[in-house]
Amino acid sequence: MDRPRGTGPGEITNDGCAVDFYALLPSFGEPEIVHVAVGEGTPVLELGCGTGRILRPLAELGDDLSSAGLRFARWLTGDQSWFAAYPA
């Protein structure tokens, strides 16, 4: 099976998404929906958080967050180059 191919700025993920493009996208109400659905003070774990498009607004709402994704795995191995391009 051929690997998906994408176009756009920066790194292209295995499913064909342009990482830099997703980093520029705003959220579209998803953080607010999650915030209301889980309730105040409930810990939230986001797996596959990618560029943090949903995670960052949740943090601004005051949610107790944990996350993991490929970028996080790179950080654990000492590769912080991607994070420098997208400061929190």
pLDDT tens by residue, 22-64:
778 888 999 999 999 988 888 888 877 777 888 888 888 888 8
Domain positions in the chain are 19-85
The Cα–Cα gap between 87 and 5 comes to 27
Is-contact 64 41, C-beta < 8 A?
yes
Q: 81 pLDDT exceeds 90?
A: no
Task: Report the pLDDT value the prediction gives residue 53, as an integer from 0 to 100.
Answer: 83
Task: Report the pLDDT value the prediction gives residue 65, as an integer from 0 to 100.
Answer: 84
Separate counts of helices (H) and strands (E) for the chain: 5, 2
Phi, psi dihedral angles at 78 (to 5 degrees): 95, -5
Task: Report the pLDDT value the prediction gives residue 37, as an integer from 0 to 100.
Answer: 92
**Parallel, antiparallel or unpaired: strands 65-68 and 44-47:** parallel
Task: Report the pLDDT value the prediction gives residue 64, as an integer from 0 to 100.
Answer: 86
